Each structure stands twice: as structure tokens, then as C-alpha cells.
Structure 1
């Protein structure tokens, strides 16, 4: 059975990877929102 230090290290790595994944997901959502707004703007300009 792993000792407490090994378990703690695993949790630290996992939580760090999770935080990184959350940050990447937030950045991806911001890019999608930016692209969506750009497409809406282009559609409005083309509509005029």
C-alpha cells in the first residue's frame, strides 16, 4: 500500500493537471465566443 507521501504527491499532480485542463477549457471557450462574435459581426455587416 502506498504511503501518505506518495498519495499526497499523486493528489497534487492530479489536481494540478485538473487545474491546467480547466484553464485550457476556459481559454477554448473564450476563443469560441470570440469567433462567434466575429461571425455575428460579419453576418451583420454582410446583411447591410
Structure 2
């Protein structure tokens, strides 16, 4: 199980900002990109 640093950065941004939309704004991404990164992390944990 190896998480990319990008996925971890996205996860931490969601924690810090409280929502996918706010995390996406802080990272300069669209919310769907944040959602896909989190889905990838969830799949790794399954």
C-alpha cells in the first residue's frame, strides 16, 4: 500500500478546509479532481 504524496496533500487539504470544494480552491483544482484523489485513497484502503 503506497500513497502518493499528491493524494496525501489532497487528503490533508480536505481535513484543513472542511470540504472538497474548499480544498479544491486552496489547491487550485476542480472539486472533481479532489474527489477522484480521495476515491483513489479509499480504493487503496479497501
The TM-score normalised by the length of structure 2 is 0.36
Instruction: Give 1 or 2: higher helix fraction.
Output: 1
Q: Rg larger in 1 or in 2?
A: 1
Higher relative contact order (CA 8 A, sep 6+): 2
The TM-score normalised by the length of structure 1 is 0.35
